[in-house]
Chains A and B, each alone.
Chain A
Amino acid sequence: MAARGVLVLGGGVAGMAAALSLAAMDFEVTLVEKAAVPGGRAVGYACKATDRCLHCGVCLASDLAEELAASPVVLRTGTRLEGLEGRPGDFRATVTGAELAVGALVVATGLAPAPAAGWPDLGYGRLDAVITASELEERCRRQGPPAARRVAFVQCVGSRNPAWGKGYCSEVCCPYALRLGLGLVAEAAAEVTVFFNDLQTAGKSMATAREQARKGLRLVQGVPSRAAGVAAGVELQFEDVRAGGVRREGFDLVVLSTGIWPGPDTAALARLLGINTGPTGFFAGHPGQSWRSSRPGIYLAGSCQKPRGIADSIAHGRAAAAQVAADLEEVRSA
């Protein structure tokens, strides 16, 4: 029965949360994930606890993945959406190797980190000691923190500049840089410098990290403009906004805090599904109901709609689920 079926596209935290909520509301949910395993980006991140939890939200991804494995949600990995026909309450979705009758579709295809190679002056791809925050996360998750003494984080790479069509703050990169930095201090006794424009450290969940960061990290306002390879690592050139003047300083490891851009499939999916994207390239949500797309019967969840952290993406996925459930009940009773 189409109206009891829901297709969730993308198995990151937002997609998993939406699927689990819908399953708990007795819908028949199929989760279509293009990768080989569900979980999205967040299951590859590292815990950032120092002597206590810093509330990065990464355990939530693990909790959802466990819950998903034990749930009645039908998981199709290595699968993509190829076509969609029909109307709200009665869609026919073609996915790799199958056709599904569903009442609604939740799009949760997530984000892509800004392409670090887009800023050649910062040395990514040219210098081995310049890496992205995603690469650092991945490394910490599998091997623990790298043994570099002087570490610099460069904030706002690919964010906050309308000239790139990205005139927004990515919201998550300040928190993750501070937490990752604190982890390096605590576990690898590194000296960490964070170069920032404005530090986004709002909120209760940041309270501990904020306090520890102000004590344990060197925070410098002003973002480096170029990186040069030197014998002992990387030399960054930056304008020190607070102390004044252009300065140069050497580091063993430079981490680029690449911001959140729309996921790689966003534009193609928007065409396939007939839904709108906004000026920054994310799927466009309804004003005040950001979990609704421009097309009835198709819903949005998580960071494919705007930059969102893990906890916010989960909340957004649940909100989408509540709307789907309500709308499908209406379709059925109509």
Chain B
Amino acid sequence: MKVEVAVVGAGPSGLSCAAALVRLGRKVAVLEAAEATGGTLRAAPGYLAPAAEGRTRLQTLQAAAGPAALLTGHPAGSLSGGPGAFRLEAGNRRLTAGAVVLASGVRRRLSPADHGLEPAYNLLGLSDMARLLADPQASLGRLRGRRVAFFLDVSAPDSLRQQAAAMHLGIAVRRQLAAEVLWFGRDLKVAGDGLEARYREARDLGVTFFRDAGRPPMLTATAGGYRVWAWPEEGGEPVEVAIDLAVLDEREEPCLPQWDLGPRRENSRLGHRSPRPGIFVTGSLRADLDLEGCLVDGVAAAAVADAFLRGLDGLVRAEVDAPRCARCLTCVRLCPHRAMAIAWYREADRAAAKVDKAACRGCGVCVAACPALAITLTTCPDEDIYRQLESGGRTT
């Protein structure tokens, strides 16, 4: 199958990206490892937003992304080629795509040990709680009027998404089960879409918030639940409460394919770009975004990918003088954008380093590093630099 853009992941950001690309008239395929689209919105309703709102959002997104080829059950496999002509394997399918948008999100994993606990039936992760609350078969009745406590900032310190989830779920627990709800964490996060209002709603519903003063709460298992000690004041006496169910924050790992995406480091300049031209990143894989943020981010990535495809011809930047190349691989190793590879030059009848014109961004790192002086940067050749040296530099 040949598409203009392959979107990896059909969660909220992937779907919103695919929908926007379709609206822009692009041919799009969405690769999704799971058997259905929706990501967290489907798998854990009530996690990213109150359940009813999440369902409406999901329906809207699925409808809007409908015209894209939705390949569910097709995890993204290996990638080759370059911008304009990436080749992707996904399950039993092979795709070529001009650009790729990674929207594969994060994987969440409950880790009771982080909280000093053993796994137990009355110990849930935030996403389990979301699933249970949404499941009509789940018998949560026995929690009616009991005490449920949320523990944040332990497995995933400083996660806006998880704090937002705890807020939505705490309110749902309070409303649906009339259970008493407690919140333990270090810094309460309210910097999300409508989150401050949700926090006030929770407080008005009687949810109790314990912010710890540097020392996280301690839990021990009792016959039917847990005993919690928390230190809301520095050096003060602990508060002690008995709870029936503990809901814990979860570890988060990015779901990245096994591709070489270039040097992996945080970078403020890249935005939706990965170090490899033509591969873009969006959604919770890129930043700690709430649902609103993911919806915006997906559409933004669509705009960036669309503009990239329009400008693909680009200008020629680095050029290798094939006969001079010593095939030392220095440039291949150093190019931050993975634009260099060894290839066959028919004219010179030999293999040498070759620049992928659509991937080269003209930084000149390879030029300065080539021991054979085989590379020229057309946009800033050596002669220019030396001329500037002779003429006393540029003054503007």
Task: List residues of A whose CB falls within 8 A of some B CB.
Answer: 21, 24-26, 53, 55-57, 59-60, 63, 160, 162, 167-169, 171, 174, 198-208, 210, 221, 242-244, 288-291, 306, 311-312, 314-319, 321-323, 325-326, 329-330
B107 is an interface residue with CB less than 8 A from chain A: no
B213–A314 contact, CB under 8 A? no
Expressed in whole angstroms, the minimum distance between the Cβ of A122 and any Cβ of chain B is 21
Expressed in whole angstroms, the minimum distance between the Cβ of A333 and any Cβ of chain B is 9
A24–B268 contact, CB under 8 A? no
Chain A residues near B187 (CB, 8 Å)? 198-201
Find the residue from A202, A207, A312 having the highest chain B CB count within 10 A. A202
B111 is an interface residue with CB less than 8 A from chain A: no
Q: List 23 A-B contacts (CB under 8 A).
A: A24-B306, A24-B310, A167-B200, A168-B196, A169-B191, A169-B196, A198-B190, A200-B189, A200-B191, A201-B187, A203-B160, A204-B266, A204-B288, A205-B268, A205-B287, A244-B233, A312-B293, A312-B296, A319-B20, A319-B296, A323-B20, A325-B24, A329-B23
B296–A59 contact, CB under 8 A? no
Chain B residues near A315 (CB, 8 Å)? 271-272, 293, 296-297, 300
B132 is an interface residue with CB less than 8 A from chain A: no
B307–A24 contact, CB under 8 A? yes
Expressed in whole angstroms, the minimum distance between the Cβ of B130 and any Cβ of chain A is 19
Q: Per-position contact with A for B51-63: 1 when CB-CB < 8 Å, else 0?
A: 0000011001000
A59–B23 contact, CB under 8 A? no
B268–A57 contact, CB under 8 A? yes
Q: Of B25, B160, B233, which one neighbours A242 at CB under 8 angstroms?
A: B233
B260 is an interface residue with CB less than 8 A from chain A: no
User: Besides the contacts A167-B197, A312-B293, A319-B20, what 17 more A-B pairs have beta carbons closer than 8 Å?
Assistant: A21-B307, A53-B268, A60-B271, A169-B191, A198-B188, A198-B190, A202-B160, A204-B287, A210-B158, A242-B213, A289-B295, A312-B296, A315-B293, A319-B303, A322-B20, A322-B299, A325-B24
Chain A residues near B57 (CB, 8 Å)? 288
Interface of chain B residues 1 through 34 with chain A (CB within 8 A): 20, 23-25
Q: How far is the CA of A264 from the CA of B259 in the complex (A)?
A: 47
* Shortest beta-carbon contacts, A-B, top 9: A326-B23, A202-B160, A24-B307, A203-B288, A318-B300, A319-B299, A200-B191, A322-B303, A315-B300
Chain B residues near A288 (CB, 8 Å)? 56-57, 60, 292, 295
B304 is an interface residue with CB less than 8 A from chain A: yes
Q: What is the interface residue range for chain B against chain A?
A: 35 or more
Expressed in whole angstroms, the minimum distance between the Cβ of A18 and any Cβ of chain B is 9
Expressed in whole angstroms, the minimum distance between the Cβ of B5 and any Cβ of chain A is 12
A60–B269 contact, CB under 8 A? yes
B266–A329 contact, CB under 8 A? no
Find the residue from B24, B188, B196, B236 having the highest chain A CB count within 10 A. B196
Chain B residues near A326 (CB, 8 Å)? 20, 23-25
Expressed in whole angstroms, the minimum distance between the Cβ of A328 and any Cβ of chain B is 11
Q: How far is the CA of A325 from the CA of B20 in the complex (A)?
A: 10
Check A243/B233 contact, CB under 8 A, given A315-B300, A323-B20: yes
Q: How far is the CA of A289 from the CA of B271 in the complex (A)?
A: 21
B20–A60 contact, CB under 8 A? no
Expressed in whole angstroms, the minimum distance between the Cβ of B362 and any Cβ of chain A is 15
A-B pair number, CB within 8 angstroms: 145
Q: How far is the CA of A53 from the CA of B268 in the complex (A)?
A: 8
Interface of chain B residues 189 through 220 with chain A (CB within 8 A): 189-193, 195-197, 200, 211, 213
Chain B residues near A200 (CB, 8 Å)? 187, 189-191
Q: How far is the CA of A204 from the CA of B268 in the complex (A)?
A: 11
Interface of chain B residues 240 through 287 with chain A (CB within 8 A): 266, 268-269, 271-272, 287
Find the residue from B163, B192, B268, B306 having the highest chain A CB count within 10 A. B268
Q: Of A202, A207, A208, which one neighbours B189 at CB under 8 angstroms?
A: A202
Check A202/B24 contact, CB under 8 A, given A221-B211, A243-B233, A288-B295: no
Find the residue from A200, A288, A314 having the highest chain B CB count within 10 A. A288
Q: How far is the CA of A21 from the CA of B305 in the complex (A)?
A: 10
Residue of B nearest to A309 (CB): B191
Expressed in whole angstroms, the minimum distance between the Cβ of B197 and any Cβ of chain A is 6
A291–B158 contact, CB under 8 A? no
Q: How far is the CA of A150 from the CA of B25 in the complex (A)?
A: 57
Chain A residues near B129 (CB, 8 Å)? none
Q: How far is the CA of A195 from the CA of B293 in the complex (A)?
A: 28
B234–A243 contact, CB under 8 A? yes
Q: Of B159, B236, B300, B310, which one neighbours A316 at CB under 8 angstroms?
A: B300
Expressed in whole angstroms, the minimum distance between the Cβ of B217 and any Cβ of chain A is 15
Q: Of A53, A206, A242, which one neighbours B234 at CB under 8 angstroms?
A: A242
Chain A residues near B191 (CB, 8 Å)? 169, 171, 174, 200, 202
Q: How far is the CA of A84 from the CA of B113 in the complex (A)?
A: 61
A55–B189 contact, CB under 8 A? no
Chain B residues near A323 (CB, 8 Å)? 20, 23, 299
Q: How far is the CA of A271 from the CA of B61 in the complex (A)?
A: 32
Q: How far is the CA of A199 from the CA of B187 in the complex (A)?
A: 6
